[in-house]
Structure 1
C-alpha cells in the first residue's frame, strides 16, 4: 500500500463535499480509446485526407452529412463498453452523500451507466441523439438497432455532443462552476488538464484539497495537494481496500 494512497484515503475521509473531474483516461480503462488513438482513425485520415478535428466538427456535419453519419456510426457507437471501478467508486461516494457529483469531459455516458445522477457532461453524451431539423430525439439503442442516420423528416440525426466549432452548453458550465466553488475537495481522474475551456474550469475550485490522479504530468500539478502518477483503477482498488479495514 503506497503512502500516496494512504494520504488519499485520509483526504477522502476528512472531506464532506467532493467533486470529481474525469477525463479520457477513465474511459480508456473501460476499453474506449481516446480521440487521438481511436484505433484506425489515422488510417482513415491518410486515406481521405481529413484532420481528426474535422471529422468531429460542425463543419463536417454541414459539408457532408452522410460522411459525418458514417463516421460517428463507425467510430463512436461503442455499445459493448461497461463502467469500471472508477465510475462505480464515484457513484458510491455520491450515494453516500460524500460527493456533490462528477464533471466529465467524456461523452460515453458510462458515469450514467454506473448509477451516478449528478453529472455535468461538458462535451455532451452519446446516450442521446437528435434531428437537426425537427429536434426529435433518439436513444443510442435506437440509433444502433434501427440503423438510423437521418430522421423521417429528412434531417440529419446527430449525437448530442459538443462538436469542434461549437460552444459548451452554458447551463452545464454554470452547474460545473458551482460544484467547483462549493467543493472542499477536487479529485481529477484521467485528465491531462490541457483541453480548454473544460480544464480551465477547475481554476474555480478554492477548497482545501486538490488531488490529481493521472499517469502523466499535468500543467496543474504544482497547484495540487496530492499528485498520483499511477493507474487509476489500481489506485481506487487500493483505496477501497483501505476503507474496508
Structure 2
C-alpha cells in the first residue's frame, strides 16, 4: 500500500461524518459508459444522426412520447449492470454509521442497489418510472421484464424519474445534498470532473477537515483538496481490503 492510500485509509478510519460525492467514473467501473466518452451515449446517438440533448429533453418527451421511451429502452436501461466494490464500500460505511450518505450525479441507481439508503440523486434515477398522465409508478424491473412502453392503467407514456433537459433539479434533493456537505468532516469525491453544475457549487460549501478527490483526471478542486489520487478507484478501494 503506497503512502497516499495509507493516508486515505487513516482519514477514513478516523472520520465519522463522511459524505461521498460520485460521478460517472464510479459507474464506468460497473461497465456503464461515461455519457460523453467514446462509445458512450453521446457518441452512439450522434453517430445515428441525433442530438443527444434533444433526445434527453422534456421537449422530445412531449412531442414524441413513443420515440422517447423507445430511446430509453435502447440506450439507457442496463439490465445486467451491477454495483461494484466502490458502491459496496460506500454502502458499508453508511451501515457502519461512519457516513452521512452519498450524493451522486449518476442516474443508474447502483448506489441504492448496493444498499445505500441515504442517497441524493441529483439527476434522478432510472430505478423508477411513472406515467406522464396518471402518475402510476413502475420499477425498472417492471419496465425491463415486461418491456413496458405505456402505462398499464391509462395507456399513456411512462418515463424514467430522471431530470431531463429543460427541467429543474429537485430542490429538496439539492437541500439534502447541501446539508450532507456542510455537516461532513470528510468529503470524498469519486469519479467526477467537478465541472458540471451543480457539482462545483455544491462542493464549494464544504467546510470540513478533509476533502479527498479520487479521479483519473485533474479537477478544478485539486488544489483545495487534502488528498488527491489520480488513480483507478477500484484499485484504490481494493487496496483498503474493505469487504474481506
Do they superpose with TM above 0.5? yes
**Post-superposition shift, 1:240?**
2.5
Taking structure 2 as the reference length, the TM-score comes to: 0.94
Conserved 8 A contact 1:107-1:123: yes
Instruction: Map residues 40-79 of structure 1 onto 2, 5 A cutoff.
Output: 41-48=42-49, 50-79=50-79
Q: Which runs of 5+ in 2 are unaligned?
A: none
- Aligned structure 1 segments of 4 or more residues deviating by more than 4 angstroms: 38-41
Paired position in structure 1 for 2:185: 184
**Cα displacement string for residues 18-55 of structure 1 (whole angstroms, at most 9, x for unaligned residues):** 0000100000000001111354753432433x211111
For residue 133 of structure 1, report the CA deviation from its aligned partner: 0.7
CA contact (8 A) 2:34 2:41 kept: no
SS at match of 1:210: strand
Provide the aligned C-alpha RMSD in A. Answer: 1.6
Question: Is 1:28 the equivalent of 2:52?
Answer: no
Aligned positions of 1:89-104 closer than 5 A: 89-104=89-104
The equivalences for 1:196-207 within 5 A come to: 196-207=197-208
- The answer to whether the 8 Å contact 1:183/1:205 transfers is yes
Separation in 2 of the partners of 1:79 and 1:6?
Answer: 36
> What's the CA shift for 1:66?
1.4
Distance 1:12 1:80, change over 3 A: same
TM (norm. structure 1) is 0.94
Q: How many residues in Structure 1 have an aligned counterpart in Structure 2?
A: 242
C-alpha distance after superposition, 1:71-126 (max 9, x if no partner)? 10001110100110100110111111111111111111111111111111111111
State the partner residue of 2:143: 143
User: Deviation at 1:204?
Assistant: 1.4
The answer to whether the 8 A contact 1:122-1:198 is kept is: no
Q: State the match for 2:165 in structure 1.
A: 164
Structure 1: runs of 5 or more not aligned: none
2: CA distance, partners of 1:228 / 1:129: 36
Alpha-carbon displacement from aligned partner over 1:196-245 (angstroms, at most 9, x marks no partner): 0133211111100000000000111111111100000000111227x98x
Structure 2 SS opposite 1:93: helix
Counterparts of 2:175 and 2:241, CA distance in 1: 32
